[in-house]
Amino acid sequence: MKNVGDGLVCLFVEPFGEDFWVQPDETFVVIGGAVDPEFSVSVMADHVIVRANAGDPYEVQVVDSASGTVLDCGYRRPDG
């Protein structure tokens, strides 16, 4: 997902409620494990929710597309 807006967007990954905060012009990629992952996506004004519907949810990762870095839950979470 790419944040094409001018504000911070929260990417939630379910079923574990992991949150990743995407700056404007940043792109994150959600990838699954080795077994055919299947995702559904819901979009709100400042939130995107990606749910792993098939495959092992423990193998889902969020990657910063610019650096290739696998991100940890809470990445750039605002204070409060």
pLDDT at 60 over 70: yes
Query: Over the stretch 16-49, which tens digit does the pLDDT of each residue have?
Result: 999 999 999 999 999 987 677 789 999 998 999 9
Confidence of residue 77 (pLDDT cuts 50, 70, 90): very high
* CB of 20 closer than 8 Å to CB of 48: no
* CB of 30 closer than 8 Å to CB of 60: yes
Which DSSP string corresponds to 39-51?
EEEEE-SSEEEEE
Query: Over the stretch 13-23, which tens digit does the pLDDT of each residue have?
Result: 999 999 999 99
